[in-house]
Amino acid sequence: AQSVTQLDSQVPVFEEAPVELRCNYSSSVSVYLFWYVQYPNQGLQLLLKYLSGSTLVKGINGFEAEFNKSQTSFHLRKPSVHISDTAEYFCAVSETSYDKVIFGPGTSLSVIP
Amino acid sequence: NAGVTQTPKFRVLKTGQSMTLLCAQDMNHEYMYWYRQDPGMGLRLIHYSVGEGTTAKGEVPDGYNVSRLKKQNFLLGLESAAPSQTSVYFCASSFQSGRYNEQFFGPGTRLTVL
């Protein structure tokens, strides 16, 4: 069965520093992968998604993620964070033949001035 | 273009009471979803719909019912609320299957069951 692990529940980082949010999934078949962001008191918004092709995916607000099939990982990175990046980040996975998306538990990113 | 809206934004119920949460989307999306969000557990799918008149169970359907009588609306019902249903409920929609399409989320409904 599918599952998504986000190893870090909270990540504090100083403004303008780089950040990596980790995501690992378990699945024995081909997958689609997503990162969503939730700003305080709002719904989720799509940051980026991997369906096929290049394993490096670029998203909005300067974020990117790399799909590593052998490691079953889809880590999210940003080279320089801003105060406005403070939010909850969710990794999600779906199987190509299964009509549901499984969300990870989320990582709370706090950017410190 | 309002996107996905949810009514109400907040609600407090007593154990055993019933209520209906309304989700509306104006993007002509086929797929709609109801999730619950609990601390440390991410989002869990309650029920979903792949088109008008259709519904299907998700990961945690017990204690909830849904209806999709009109394409733009997706209703989530709690017939007899329990404290375990205290949560934040999100509705989402997507043009086609959310397994490869972006899901658009509403702002959420915060429900407390006493």
In which order are the strands placed within the sheet that holds B73-78? B4-7, B19-25, B73-78, B65-67
Identity at A28, one-letter amino acid code: S
pLDDT recorded at residue A98: 65
Place of tokens 């609990």: B38
pLDDT recorded at residue A94: 86
Contact B89, B9 (CB under 8 A): no
Region B2-17 average pLDDT: 95
Region A57-66 average pLDDT: 96
Distance from CA of B101 to the nearest CA of A (A): 9
Q: What are A's interface residues with B at a Cβ cutoff of 8 A? A: 4, 9, 32, 36, 41-46, 49, 51, 90, 94-96, 98-106
Picking from A77-86, A104-113, B37-46, B49-58, which range would have the lowest pLDDT averaged per residue? Answer: B37-46
Query: In which band, very low, low, confident or very high, does the pLDDT at A21 lie, cut at 50, 70 and 90?
Result: very high
pLDDT recorded at residue A1: 62
Cα separation, B9 vs A27, whole angstroms: 36
Distance set, CA A78 to CA A13, A36, A47, B34, B75 (Å): 11, 14, 12, 31, 38
Residue B19 has pLDDT above 70, yes or no: yes
pLDDT recorded at residue A97: 67
Mark yes or no for CB contact B100/A4 under 8 Å: no
Distance set, CA A80 to CA A14, A109, B1 (Å): 9, 13, 33
More confident: A52 or B22? B22
The tokens for B48 are: 């979903």
Beta pairing, strands A19-21 & A73-78: antiparallel
Among A44, A49, A106, the residue with its CB nearest the CB of B105 is A44
Candidates A34, A100, A102, partner chain B, best to mutate (most B CBs within 10 A): A100
Tell me how many degrees the CA angle B1-B3-B9 measures, rounded to the nearest 5: 120
Distance from CA of B102 to the nearest CA of A (A): 6
For A30-68, give the DSSP string.
Answer: -EEEEEEEE-TTS-EEEEEEE-SS-SEEE-GGG-EEEEE
Region B69-85 average pLDDT: 96
pLDDT recorded at residue B41: 84
pLDDT recorded at residue B78: 96
pLDDT recorded at residue A47: 96
Distance from CA of A102 to the nearest CA of B (A): 7
Region B28-53 average pLDDT: 92
B87 lies within 8 A of chain A by CB: no
Could you tell me what percentage of chain A is helix, strand and coil, using 3-state DSSP and rounding each to the nearest 5?
5, 55, 40
Mark yes or no for CB contact B40/A43 under 8 Å: no
Residue A28 has pLDDT above 80, yes or no: no
pLDDT > 70: what percent of chain A? 96
Q: Which of chain A's residues have a Cβ under 8 Å away from the Cβ of B50? A: 99
Residue A41 has pLDDT above 90, yes or no: no
Mean pLDDT for all residues in chain A: 92
Residue-wise pLDDT tens digits, B94-105: 988 777 778 999
pLDDT recorded at residue B71: 96
More confident: A81 or B102? A81
